[in-house]
Structure 1
């Protein structure tokens, strides 16, 4: 190996944006091994050909991609890196939705002057619906209604625990209903029925009834999700 092709750890860090402690850590965990380590001094040296991988690692870690996912794409094609970024973006959007709900809960607690309100009445907080594929169903509902999907409990989560808005729609994976009549039916209050209806259709729902005004109840519509479940949308 040509010594002129090697960079010491300081020069390599400066050229890639990674810190020296980060490079030492990535060597220890096997993510980015130096080309040569001096047996006597322990000094690390890197090939110039490693610069691209190091810069990619720096970029992915800067936006919070987990180490294991970074490891999986080092040396891979741009398309494979793009798939990892797509998945990470979905994770960040889900975190943003959850954070937005927490902010709403904080605002509610501030308004009520009690950080842990005691719920005085018995009320329903969960329904379960059957879906053909939990991941696909979660993608539909988060795209259509901008809700949080809590993967740990396979549930669409509205509000935060112990807040008045808390409610779960749990997705249970199983065989598709024998007919659409076997699906569940539930209602959602939304800020704008027309906008929510259109968004649901764009996400893959089918229209059952367009937004309609009634003399005896709020403006409503009805759509059917991909798994045959009926969703009634009502103007909040």
Structure 2
């Protein structure tokens, strides 16, 4: 291919949706290398068969996919892109849950006034739940109950710190034997039937189906994949 068949950086930017500064940066980090760089002027030129790959980079980066994950799929068969998108979607959903909790905390402050509430001197804020595999357990709980998993502290987080709703369920990895010594705890849910169904669909086992009692609200119970029992109570 002679030089006349190559696109200059401006034309390549127009064809791919990437900016010229972005193309220069992606050259520097080895993500999109130009087909030729003029040794005298430093001008970059690209082949036309690089356009599709560059457009993929543009689309993935526009969605916020990290550069390292983009690098792992560019130039590979299309079936390698889907896992990267699935992983990024899970990350975005987790971020959305966290932002939703922060919005709820802001709404609570607006309703009560701008002064930050003073927490009680002593109140429970954490339980530790034994699991065999933290990522798998986190996937179950986020799918079943739409809660935030804070990976940095290996915890399902309810509410924001220093708010009345703040509580942590910490997933404590103990290996395969964890399933034999689980714990039992309760969650208050807005829609018992829906929460129970989601927990079972996510991989939980029915311990007790939704039922009414004379002495307490409607409840049910499910067992998570690690053997821990979750009592669900209609809020």
Q: TM-score range by the shorter chain?
A: over 0.9
Shift of 1:177: 4.0
CA contact (8 A) 1:16 1:58 kept: yes
CA contact (8 A) 1:220 1:235 kept: yes
1:224 corresponding residue in structure 2 = 223
Count how many residue pairs are aligned between Structure 1 and Structure 2.
Answer: 235
2:204 corresponding residue in structure 1 = 205
Q: Distance in 2 between matches of 1:227 and 1:42?
A: 59
> TM-score, normalized by length of structure 1?
0.96
Q: Distance in 1 between matches of 2:49 and 2:36?
A: 13
CA contact (8 A) 2:130 2:179 kept: no
Corresponding position: 1:235 with 2:234: yes
Shift of 1:178: 7.1
2:193 corresponding residue in structure 1 = 194
Q: Distance in 2 between matches of 1:177 and 1:232?
A: 22
> TM-score, normalized by length of structure 2?
0.97
Deviation per CA, 1:43-88: give whole Å up to 9, x if none.
1101111111100100100100011111111111111111101100
1:162 corresponding residue in structure 2 = 162
Q: Distance in 2 between matches of 1:120 and 1:206?
A: 36
**Cα distance 1:134–1:58, how it changes in 2: closer, same or farther (>3 A)?**
same
Deviation per CA, 1:77-134: give whole Å up to 9, x if none.
1111111011000000000111111110000011111352211341100000111110
**Cα distance 1:115–1:93, how it changes in 2: closer, same or farther (>3 A)?**
farther
CA contact (8 A) 1:177 1:228 kept: no
Gaps in structure 2 of 5+ consecutive residues: none
Gaps in structure 1 of 5+ consecutive residues: none
SS at match of 2:7: strand
